[in-house]
Amino acid sequence: MVILFMICCASFSQERADTHRKLSGFHFGISYMNLKDEVLNNVIHKGNGILGAIYLERSDNMSVKRLDLELGSGFLMSNFESEASSYLFSGSAGFRYLRNLSYADPGFKFYLGGKVKIGTAIEYFDNWDESHFYWITAYSIGADFRLDYSFGDKSKIQIEGDLPLFSLVSRPPAEFLYTQSSPALPDVVKDINHDLRFLSPARYQELNLQVKYSLRNSKKFVPSIFWRLSYLSINKDGSGKLKYINQTFGVEFIF
């Protein structure tokens, strides 16, 4: 249905100037996370963190191509702790390709397409387990959309979201067969890719939704503010369930 809709929209005869745009930028935000990893325990760990990313984007009136590189961290604690003593460090790389499905109104654009993403995160629980680290690694292909609406003095609101459809996922085993995790980089890479398995959207759910407001639309420098909601739920055989909700407020600078 999506493919047929894209073909029908693209087949309408319309006059439009093809303007190529090359953008790059970075953003920085403060996040708040709730995390529950049942491999460790049933306790909810929550706290603040930071998020940073850079990206490259190429677009015209027909399509958008974008590459994102992102790093984040979280400083967490539970109701049983008096200070933050659990940590999460994450990194991801993603590429999206979107097609414009609306041409009639130059102030409104609707893009639909796909996204490939590689992401990993390592959790440390110093007060609960000093011998191991826990991880989330996923290689995914999914759907992506973007809505752009321009108004006023060239201000713009942008809403975008994505979710995976096919995912290759690694999680720690329900019971560790060793007592000490090795800090050597080759061993860490091997561990975070342990027992990779394909999971259906029912077993691996990752929803990212972002709302961004551009204060002005200068050709050289565009500051924006954004809010992002990320929800993750994993249910992999041989491992405990994991859920987290993360909200981020931040500032983005586009060049």
pLDDT at 60: 86
Residue 151 one-letter amino acid: F
pLDDT of residue 93: 97
Q: What is the pLDDT of residue 182?
A: 86
Q: Are 49 and 73 in contact (CB under 8 A)?
A: yes
Q: Using one digit for the tens of pLDDT, what is the confidence trace for 174-209?
A: 988 888 888 888 999 999 999 999 999 999 999 999
Contact 131, 197 (CB under 8 A): no
pLDDT given at position 219? 59
Contact 66, 145 (CB under 8 A): no
What does the domain layout of the chain look like in residue ranges? 55-218+234-254
In the chain, beta strands by DSSP E: 21-37, 45-59, 63-76, 86-100, 108-125, 129-151, 155-170, 197-199, 204-214, 222-234, 242-254
pLDDT at residue 223, rounded to an integer: 82
Task: Please tell me the predicted confidence (pLDDT) of residue 107.
Answer: 79
Q: Which residue, among 82, 152, 143, 72, has the nearest Cα to 114 in the 3D structure? A: 143
In the prediction, which pLDDT does 61 show?
Answer: 81
Question: Quick one: pLDDT at residue 12?
Answer: 43
pLDDT of residue 13: 41
- 95-123 as b/e, with b when 16 or more CB fall inside 10 Å? ebebbbbebeeeeebbbbbbbbbebbbbb
Report, as ranges of residue numbers, the positions in the chain whose pLDDT lies below 70. 1-18, 216-221
Sign for the pseudo-dihedral over CA of 188, 45, 73, 82:
negative
